[in-house]
Structure 1
Amino acid sequence: MTEPFVTLDRNVYQSLQRELQELRQQVADPKQQTEAAQRDSKQSLRTILDSVYDAIFIHDLNGTILDVNQKMLEMYGVSREEATGLSIQTDYSSPDNPLDRLPAIWQRVLDGESQLFEWKAKRPGDGSLFDVEVFLRCITLDGQDVILANVRDLRDRKQIERQWQESQQFLRLVIDNIPQLIFWKDRNSVYLGCNQNFAAVAGLDNSETISGKTDYDLPWTTEEADWYRQCDRGVMESGESQLHIIETQQQADGKQGWLDTNKIPLCDAEGNVVGILGTIEDITDRKKVEETLKQLNEELEARVEVRTAQLRENQAQLQRLSENIPGMIYTFRLNPDGTMSYPYVSSGVRAVFGLEPEQLHQDATLAFDRVHPEDIADLQRAIARSAQTLEAVENEFRLLLPSGEQKWVRVNSQPYSQPDGAILWYCSLLEISDRKAIEAALIESEAKYRRFVENANDLIWSFNLEGQLTYLSPQFQTLFGFEPSEFLGKPFIPLVHPDDLPRCEANLKQCLVTGERQGDVEFRHKCQDGSWRWVSSNVSPLKDENGNVIGFHGILKDIRDRKQAEEALAQSEAKFRRFVEDANDLIYSVTAEGIFTYLSPQIKAILGYEPSELLGQSIAHFTHPDDLPTAFAFNQRVFETVEKQEGLEVRVKHSDGSWRWISCNNSPIADAEGNCIAIQGIARDIRDRKAAEAQLREQEQFLRSIYDGAAKAIFVIEATKNKNFRYLGFNPVAEEFTGRANQQVEGKTPEEAFGREIGSALRQNYTRCLEAETAITYEDNNVFENDELWTLTTLAPLYDEQGKIYRLIGTAQDTTARKAAETQLQQKTQQLEQTLRELQRTQAQMLQNEKMSSLGQMVAGVAHEINNPINFIHGNLTHAGEYIQDLLELLDLYQHYYPDPPEELNCAIESLELEFLKEDLNKLLKSMRTGTDRIREIVLGLRNFARLDEAEFKAVNIHEGLDSTLMILQNRFRASENRPGIEVVKAYGNLPPIECYPGQLNQVFMNILLNAIDALEERDKKRTDREIEENPSQIRITTQVIVSRQMAKITISDNGPGIPKNLQNRIFDPFFTTKTVGQGTGLGLSISYQTVAEKHNGLLTCISSPGKGAQFTLQIPISQRTSLVIA
């Protein structure tokens, strides 16, 4: 069993209330209770049910629906007649819900527990599913026990909750894994939160408990707290950050230390300062490193001078070599900021560009100005692609010199990444104008041949005046499957669909009459497989030397794809019309002037207007004035580019006068010439998304301030299930540690970012965190940019909605100089922990003593107030009994001497049930006397308990203290509807008066007995009635004298579940408890042990075996006059 933190005044009060309530029930008139219950109004219940926002179900105890409210009918889409008589398990629940979950919940409700849980609900009509929150409780209506269910729709809340939870989880992982001390306050310098490291330094158990505290509530001195708050006001009033404030500090060993302090104002979305973020770091070791770096830089500068002289010699040799190479060689540099330069250009630039090398050194754009305007875009894209991939480039383009001369050149280049992030190309350029002239001639010849071939893709045909085919190109077989030779010399008529033949003959007749070419005619042509294919053919006359028509020829095209497209278009138009009418989004069209010409019916659901109200109206009438320029510019781009524009977000006025956010995509409606003449678009209600975005922006701004302002390295890694890792981001400190900018590592694997050796070691740690599925911390040693770095690194996994790890959050702290101080720090930490434990134990004992003192005064007062009236009642019961007995005797004498009273008196006697009344009066008086006796016993126990709670050390009867404690706990021992009773067995020995602190010893008895009761009740909840009957719960109390040691021995044992062996050696530790939050603090047995051992020079032990109960034994000296030390 586990120890509770006992609140005796509450237990005494509750016990007394129960006893008084039982007495009231014994003397209350049952008729009055029945009449009070009958005054409940059914009509008020109906009014309440139909006015609440949630759906309400009323079930019988078997789950059948008896009644519902109006909100339920609307939520589930059923009528009241359809709703009742069904079951919530089978008719209103998704089949995806666990089958055994609802019965288990139902049983707990029947046992008297209210239940709140989420559920997947179903609409009986269409079977659609949706998320709800259900609150079940058992109540009594009209004398009948029913189950009341409150059901709330959760669909709108789920999306926001997921985004909020992801943001909160990510934020908490980051700040708790930063080794730096971090805190944040509101404008009044009241703490809103901190990370775990700051909480530990501030003496708090966890970071949540700091909320609402000020610097005066923390273990700083008053002067320190005043200074901190003064600094806070300076930052918040100026609205500017105070970063890296370097300060000196005299340390305990006499050496000088350095601190790096940061204070950053926190602003809301409007830029108003709402609080402050602070960080603190000891940078003494870093200062020492800076001094060392300064010396190394001086040595490096000397070496650079020597190396520069060598480079000058190499450059002279390169100059002589480049002057004898055809064309030109050069280097081209592209800086991270987009500027460019030519660090080296050979003398060949004069012949190619007509420029001097010095001119390109001064202005790199001169070379690009001579690139042909039609080729400059391709050249720039090739440079950008090479800079990204670092691949060699071979490019050909034209130069257009100021003289008008045009040259073709070819450039071969190889890029190299520079330490400062720039890209340097080593290039060679050669003029290829002669080769290009030859290629142009070949291209022209090839174009002529290509035109002939492309024209031959269609079928070329001819036939004579008799309609006999005289020529068919090879495409005849491709299109229709026939060999051309099969139909040469034969009529063409069998190949034309009978329904289309008149149209073809009319076209031929018109060509024959006019002697001119006729336009295309469309008809169906027969294929070898018997199918018909749509074709289009023109026709021109074939004439002899005299101009007489001797036949016809033409070009035939396959138009089956076009015909299919036309048919699909017709079907698409019909489908689109249905889509427009049924779409959840608003579909509209407007003219160039912004006038609505069409609005789909969804305008009513989104903005509350009928379509007819806005047709002919301008968009300016209901668009927010601040958004109107953006909306007109968005539409103007559609008209100018004749291209679809997406993503316009504007506020529009609802019919109720409110403004709502919508998102629009607009597409052009073009005429035959391709000019945009109107706009058609689609709009979606995005107000929920906008609200969520605002909240996410605020969280992102807060997180970014921590991420960028932290003085420790933070890095984010993408992790996949196949153990592939890629970096997603480095904060500025991580860039400084590794010597690599965020852009250099983003999207790269560890090996790509740091090389195979370091990358492989990093990957092993990332894999270890991924497999462990929990945060890991380890020391790491790497060499970045020739500098060795020791870090204390923490990796924490981040989970997606499916519970899979998709990212790792890493933090790293420089620990190179801290290693030597770890041993000393550990010793100081142990001393601090010991001091803290002693302080906590002393504070808990002081609180307990104060509470016991207050309890004694309260109990004595309550006992006194109850004792006076109950003594009055008890004393008057004797006189009332005598008076009633005299009246009954007088009544008997009257009946003896007047046996035949008048009829009216007989009726009155029968109506009063006189004989029953005479018999019941004595029973009633006896019952009242029993009740007052019980109250007097309770009062006596309370007075004994109050009298014993004194600071005086005296000799007392231990049995009286045990009995008064048992009396106070009597309500916990009795059986009730929800729990079985607990049997108490007392085996008292012959104890002499014991010298002790009576109140403190009673508290020990109370703690041990309450722990036993809690353990037995918890076990009985899991047992069946038969198990309880076979082995009822029992507490046994024995006392005896150990003569050889002159000590009193008190044993309190139970037959409960016992205490596990791994917990038995910790049950007397302060703040150790196995109970849930709110049921125990872990101080009860700790204080009891101190009371017995330190205050009474005694011994408190525990013997327990799992399944066999627990036994607590107190051994206290009978007399301590010679050895007692009063605490």
Structure 2
Amino acid sequence: MNKDKIKNESSRAREVVVEDDLQMVERVSFSADFLLMVINGTSDPIFVKDRQHCWVLVNDAYCNFIGRSREEIIGKSDFDLFENEIADASWEQDEFIFTTSKQNESDECITDAGGKKHYIAIKKCVFKDEAGNLFLINTIRELTQQISQHFQVEARLRESKALLEQVLNNIPQAIFWKDCNSVYQGCNSFFAEIAGVGDPKLIKGKTDFDLPWKEEEANWFRLNDSNAIKSKMPESIVKPQLQADGRQCWLEVNTIPICDAQGNVLNILGTLQDITDRKEIEVTLQKLYEELEIRVHQRTSELTKVVTHLQKEIKQREAIENQFRLSEERLQSLSANVPGMLYQFKLGAEGKFSFPYISTGCLEIYELPPEQMIADASLFISCIHRDQREDFEKSIANSARSLQAWQWEGRIILTSGKTKWIQTASRPQKQKDGSIIWDGVVMDVTPLKQAERALKRAYADLEKRVEERTQQLMQSNVALQKEISERHSVQSELLASRQRLELLIEQTPLAVVEWDTNFQVKEWNKAAGNIFGYTKNEAINNYFEFIVPQSASEQIHHLKTALLSQKGGTRIVTKNTTKSGETIICEWYNNPLVAVNSEVIGVASLVRDITERELASATLEQQEQFLRSIYQGVEQLIFVVNVLDNGDFVYADWNYATEKAIGINATEAVSKFPEEIFGDFQGAKIRQQYIRCLEAGISISYEENLVVQGQEHCWLTTLNPLRNAEGKIYRIIGTSFNISDRKQAEINLKQQTQELELAMNELQSTQIQLVQSEKMSSLGNLVAGVAHEINNPVNFIYGNINYANNYTQDLLKLVRLYQENYPQPVSQIQQLVEEVDLPFLLTDLPKLLDSMKIGAQRIREIVASLRTFSRMDEAEMKKVDIHEGIDSTLMILENRIKAKSERPTIEIIKDYGNLPQVECYPGQLNQVFMNILANALDTLEESIELENKTDSNPQIQICTQLVELDKVKIHIADNGMGIPEEIKGKLFDPFFTTKPVSKGTGMGLSISYQIITERHGGSIECISEFGEGSEFIITIPLHQH
């Protein structure tokens, strides 16, 4: 009895082992195929290397990426496929990861087999298998979109930086910036040139000790930086410095600390200005002042000699009276032609003032004839600007009280409304009757006010000293006048008038030159000597050619003709030559000297050196032309809007690009409102932006759509407010870019991106389907091969088992017959009967043969199902029995249908209709059945696990039917937990899955949908309610077109 039990258990164990082995082979085969399908199905390149840096696994995406087949890659290293430089870098990085076992991620730019650049992220990590072998797993991910956005940001930053560098390099001032350790971080071109480094980029990282300064100069810069950092206030110092080219110059350095919100100094901003010219002017003025001191002393000595000479010539006055008259006429003519007004101002003892004398220059300056002002002296006071009238009266009173030389500068307003700047200087002399007389000159200094401000102080001091000397001389003259009879009183007045005129001529900052009719020099004042370099003795009797270059001779001859013919005064600007050979530019005022008898006795010239002014004017003109060429030449629209006092806006100007874009000339747009240019609707929109800029008080940028010249364009506009000295915004500078093309490009790019995404999804889907088809084809070949190999020995066993059974029955009959006829066998046979347990063998052997027959029959059924399912590798369309495909699929899934410890058997309810053969792709259709049935089994198992019910009745119902005579419907339903409504719409989307990462790819139903709809022209739908189960309905035509 024990032996029977042992043998029965042994027989059942063999059956279980065989069945488990078959299930294990099936699971392993499906797991490896599934893993390979997933790896080849991903769009990202994946590859695996062994410890010898050789490829052992690559997916299809990586093969396509580097343009090599799998056979060309597997077993090779980087040195077999790539250049040495790339291979060395890859080998070194992989070895580091192998050694440290650290995960590594990096971004790289590589070129694929088609020559296209890719910006990729490479992730590498080490994996160790059960045997302890190390493998390097690499995944590659495209970064094209992120990198593109990153590059766009970088491009905008580069543009902004280039614009800032352009602005800095075009500012006519040296600018630099350092860190808190006085290390240069940058500068503009102007500073780089001063520092002798040439390129501003070379300044970074240097200190003042690295630049061509002296050590003491570098220490001075350091000290200046330190003071600014400590005080957190700007520092300004003026120091001499030796430049890189060896020049000695004066520099004004302003150091400004840049602080953060907490007041910590982050950087130092500095400006450096070369003030050498200003210093040289100060030195020149000092030298001029000293020279004037010397000349005043010399002049005083000369005047003393003149007085002595006059005393000696008193007895000869009768003889020289005619000469005095001639001189008087000449001086009167000079007085009439001096570009100013000579006057004699008298303040009576009773406080009344009058003008005993005013030259004809009054008409030019005051636009009044001298007779009118002599008749009404109040006109002189009334012309003075009301803001300066009190100052004028105080200065007169001070001069009258102290009898000091009087000088005054201010504005006058003429009856015509014009405003002028005048400069007047005179000396007071108190008369015996208590009155005071000032002899002086009024000059129109409107164009010279700024240029001669420094010289004014020097000349004012000189005037004071000359006045003192003149006063002494006049006192001597008064003593002499006592000795002269009344008949010489006129002569004395003429002499005094001549002396005053001579003093005025000598003291004027303008060069005074008197020519005779042959244009020989007859008079040459000190200012002329300063300008041309010739002393009076060197210049007297020289012809005009000695200071006029040959190129201007013809112009001078025409001028001589006009002057000698008394055609009036002239003003010309010419180039002249100094004694040192230097060419200067001078402004000449020329007037003929006409005697009482209307005879021209010579020419008087007033000369001003305007070389610096002309050069400055030429430079400014060049700069203006340069900026104007940029303003008019750029393609960017630039426009200027004036902000009126009432807050309204009118256009002041715009450049050529704006004219071209809008179709309106800039001159036509001046003083027009936005509505007049762009119409009421668009003009109102534009006005709102101007108001927004005005209210914000800062630069604003915005995009706007405007219709100009009949076409709508998109513009990127920037408005920048400008403020006046009071901080009020008085003007808006605007720039606009036409970004219509860019906007259209963005739209096109977005559309192309959507099309590419669609194409990519289709490509991925096609790729996955191809991979799945290839996998199923390989699986079909494998299954067909295995089925064929199993089928032969099984047929041999199944075919012979009936014969074995018959032979066994015959032998058993023979044994029983022997037992009946020979009940007492010999001892040896009796012993063997007991050893083999003959009674058990006689009953168990038939059962054993029946069991073997049942097992062989089961194997034949499984092989038949496998052969049916192996039609997956059949790519051609053919007519098949749908029911066979469903049954073969159920046969393969039977292991999952059987009862388990945690659940009962899943009941399969078949309701097959009477269907004809269907024209289809059988392998692909079986794949659809496999996906849907496998999902139904997953759902039922998950429902049982969640509900924790072991007594549930899980079912799958399969129903087929013929509809409309030309279509077949297959219903596959389960009584699981159903599908939520929010998920149902995504069931057939690629990569959508509710399963864990290791259990599903999300491609099963997506591929099934494509097989049914695209390959068979049918439909597939899902009907489900959460908690009520799910039903998939597949409809395909009987015949494919």
Q: Which of the pair has the greater relative contact order for Cα pairs under 8 Å at 6+ separation?
A: 1
Q: Provide TM-score, normalisation by structure 2.
A: 0.35
Q: Provide TM-score, normalisation by structure 1.
A: 0.33
More helix by share: 2
Name which one, 1 or 2, has greater alpha-carbon Rg: 2
